[in-house]
A and B are shown apart, each in its own frame.
Chain A
Amino acid sequence: MTSVLYDAPGPRAKRRNILYSIGFLAVFALVVWWLVTKLNEKNQLDWVKWKPFFTDSRPWETYIWPGLESTLTAAGYAMVIALPLGALFGIARLSDHLAVRIPSGTVVEFFRAIPVLILMIFANAAYSEFTNVSSDDRPLYAVVTGLVLYNASVLAEIVRAGIQSLPKGQTEAAYAIGLRKGQTMRAILLPQSVTAMLPAIVSQLVVIVKDTALGGAMLTFSELLASVRPMSAAYGANTIACFTIVAVIFVAINFTLTTFASWLEARLRRAKKSTGAVLPPAAVAGTAATGAGGGV
């Protein structure tokens, strides 16, 4: 547990650390105590408000599971559509032809600079004006479209970084044995870069799952967050309890994904299946690997 920043604690440092711990605990306890009194004042801690989630299956069946299903459906569609699109644009940005490279670069930079909410609002209005998608389906369409536009451009950067992380010799060797450009990309570069980008792609899923909540807040998309209002109306103004349950579900899904991404990265580093550097999960809002970006 020792770090380079401090020595293994001696007797004095141990005493000091205990003192710090007590001080920190006191401040923390004060905050918790203040919060609990506040919550108690407004009757948010009453068992009646929390009971429905633990003793009754109805809030889960009526609100939470359908909400979670919408969230995961939107995230799933967004991922499945954005991934090939992102790969296409990522490869296009590496093209030898200016006429391919510049437009695809512009598209990617454009959609990365714009908030995903703006894209969703636009998509929602565009579907109602130019298409005959039914108004029931429109929120889902809008959310998926916004997510695809934004995340495809982020994934394009991940793909580009993944391919660029491969040593130049890989391409040169492929050309030397007579492969054409397309074959080199398909047979040599892409398979290796997939290994390199896998952790970053998995952690991008976290961003997508989190962003679906925007649809619930702004576009009447009935996902998990949107189930808070009807739920707290049905079970006696238990806002805090509802938010806690929803937050815990989000944390559970996303924490699993984040942990899986880090585990994958560590494993791939050891396995050395690729000649390139394994890209770290871009969990930190846009790491060096993905450039500007990150997400909500």
Chain B
Amino acid sequence: MFDFLEGYDLLGAFWVTVKLTALSAVGSLIWGTVLAGMRVGPVPLMRGFGTAYVNIVRNIPLTVIIVFTSLGLFQTLGMDLGSEEFATINFRLSVLGLTAYTAAFVCEALRSGINTVPIGQAEAARAIGLSFNQVLRLIILPQAFRSVVAPLANVLIALTKNTTVAAAIGVAEAALLMKEMIENEAQLILISAVFAFGFICLTLPTGLILGWVSKKVAVKR
């Protein structure tokens, strides 16, 4: 029944999806945290930059960003991100695009987490003479991170699904393989079921595990 799968590297395609997700998740977590730091910081210029970045990037379709990295950054401006192979370049470009886009959502999630930390915590920290950097690093962010595990899990799940957009610039991940298989084989329903199942296997456990973690680490107040 599943012999149509032969000749296709199904696991390989999903492995690319996982790699895209993992690399962009790490990248967007770092860049998103920096952006959140800028948005709540005391320097007006950085606050303005953070706000502008989030509001602009969040409202551009991810597809536009990903296609732009290929047509604009690579083909027009010649940024090859240190590789000569097409497959590697496109992979790296989509990680770049996914990171730039997802960071805006990580930043917003973190900022809402910062708002859940009681004012007294920051006031007490300032009262014992900590600077803004110390307040943020030692008091606020550790508590904020613990309260935003659930929203960050949602961002991660959305990111996992969003990696399919990389198919638009020819990264050999799950959605592209599905399109190719549908064109070649006469098994529409089965092929779709296999890919749907694959994505359910990726997203549902992530949600369940991180949901459990978020209850575990949440600061009881």
Residues of A within 8 A of B (CB): 1, 3-7, 9, 13, 17, 20-21, 24-25, 28, 38-39, 42, 44, 109-110, 113-118, 121-122, 125-126, 129, 206, 209-214, 216-218, 225, 228-229, 237, 239-240, 243, 246-247, 250-251, 253-255, 258, 283-288, 291-296
Complex alpha-carbon distance, A4 and B64, angstroms: 38
Cβ contact of A118, chosen from B58, B72, B77, B195, cutoff 8 A: B195
B188 at interface, CB cutoff 8 A: yes
B207 at interface, CB cutoff 8 A: yes
Most chain B beta-carbon contacts within 10 A, residue among A24, A114, A240: A114
Show 19 A/B contacts (Cβ-Cβ < 8 Å), sorted by A. Answer: A4-B122, A5-B42, A5-B136, A17-B43, A21-B45, A44-B76, A114-B199, A118-B175, A118-B196, A121-B182, A213-B64, A214-B168, A240-B72, A258-B59, A284-B112, A286-B154, A286-B158, A294-B154, A296-B61
Shortest beta-carbon distance, B18 to chain A, in Å?
14
Cβ contact of A293, chosen from B68, B71, B154, cutoff 8 A: B154
B165 at interface, CB cutoff 8 A: yes
A20-B46 contact given A116-B161, A285-B154, A292-B154, CB 8 Å threshold:
yes
Determine if B49 and A28 form an interchain contact, defined as CB atoms under 8 angstroms apart: yes
B75 at interface, CB cutoff 8 A: yes
Determine if B60 and A288 form an interchain contact, defined as CB atoms under 8 angstroms apart: no
Determine if A288 and B108 form an interchain contact, defined as CB atoms under 8 angstroms apart: no
Determine if B161 and A114 form an interchain contact, defined as CB atoms under 8 angstroms apart: yes
Q: With a CB–CB cut-off of 8 A, which chain B residues contact A122?
A: 182, 188, 192
Determine if A24 and B49 form an interchain contact, defined as CB atoms under 8 angstroms apart: yes
Determine if B59 and A251 form an interchain contact, defined as CB atoms under 8 angstroms apart: yes
Shortest beta-carbon distance, B203 to chain A, in Å?
5
Determine if A5 and B122 form an interchain contact, defined as CB atoms under 8 angstroms apart: yes
Determine if B72 and A121 form an interchain contact, defined as CB atoms under 8 angstroms apart: no
Determine if B203 and A243 form an interchain contact, defined as CB atoms under 8 angstroms apart: no
Determine if B59 and A121 form an interchain contact, defined as CB atoms under 8 angstroms apart: no
Complex alpha-carbon distance, A283 and B151, angstroms: 12
Task: Report the number of A-B residue pairs with Cβ-Cβ less than 8 Å.
Answer: 199
A9-B42 contact given A113-B203, A114-B199, A218-B168, CB 8 Å threshold:
yes
Determine if B199 and A115 form an interchain contact, defined as CB atoms under 8 angstroms apart: yes
Shortest beta-carbon distance, B210 to chain A, in Å?
10
B93 at interface, CB cutoff 8 A: no
Cβ contact of B55, chosen from A6, A121, A255, A285, cutoff 8 A: A255
Q: Which secondary structure dominates chain B's binding surface?
A: helix
Determine if A114 and B196 form an interchain contact, defined as CB atoms under 8 angstroms apart: yes
Most chain B beta-carbon contacts within 10 A, residue among A5, A216, A283: A5
> What does the 1/0 interface line of B35-54 toward A look like (CB < 8 Å)?
00000111111100100000
Q: Which secondary structure dominates chain A's binding surface?
A: helix
Complex alpha-carbon distance, A284 and B111, angstroms: 11
Chain A residue at minimal CB-CB distance from B186: A129
Q: With a CB–CB cut-off of 8 A, which chain A residues contact B218?
A: none
Shortest beta-carbon distance, B198 to chain A, in Å?
9
Shortest beta-carbon distance, A34 to chain B, in Å?
11
Q: With a CB–CB cut-off of 8 A, which chain B residues contact A287?
A: 151, 154
Determine if A292 and B45 form an interchain contact, defined as CB atoms under 8 angstroms apart: no
Determine if A216 and B68 form an interchain contact, defined as CB atoms under 8 angstroms apart: no
> What does the 1/0 interface line of B129-161 toward A look like (CB < 8 Å)?
000100110001000000000110111011001
A243-B61 contact given A38-B77, A118-B195, A286-B154, CB 8 Å threshold:
no
Shortest beta-carbon distance, A255 to chain B, in Å?
5
Determine if A20 and B161 form an interchain contact, defined as CB atoms under 8 angstroms apart: no
Shortest beta-carbon distance, A271 to chain B, in Å?
23
Determine if B71 and A239 form an interchain contact, defined as CB atoms under 8 angstroms apart: yes
Complex alpha-carbon distance, A109 and B117, angstroms: 32
Complex alpha-carbon distance, A84 and B58, angstroms: 27
Determine if B64 and A247 form an interchain contact, defined as CB atoms under 8 angstroms apart: yes
Chain A residue at minimal CB-CB distance from B71: A239
Most chain A beta-carbon contacts within 10 A, residue among B43, B71, B109, B204: B43
A213-B63 contact given A5-B140, A7-B126, A228-B71, CB 8 Å threshold:
yes
Shortest beta-carbon distance, B220 to chain A, in Å?
17
Q: With a CB–CB cut-off of 8 A, which chain B residues contact A237?
A: 76
Determine if A206 and B59 form an interchain contact, defined as CB atoms under 8 angstroms apart: yes
Determine if A285 and B43 form an interchain contact, defined as CB atoms under 8 angstroms apart: no
Q: With a CB–CB cut-off of 8 A, which chain A residues contact B67?
A: 217, 225, 228
Shortest beta-carbon distance, B50 to chain A, in Å?
11
Determine if B40 and A284 form an interchain contact, defined as CB atoms under 8 angstroms apart: no
Q: With a CB–CB cut-off of 8 A, which chain B residues contact A129?
A: 188
Chain A residue at minimal CB-CB distance from B46: A24
A217-B71 contact given A9-B42, A115-B161, CB 8 Å threshold:
no
Q: With a CB–CB cut-off of 8 A, which chain A residues contact B49?
A: 24, 28
Determine if B167 and A255 form an interchain contact, defined as CB atoms under 8 angstroms apart: no
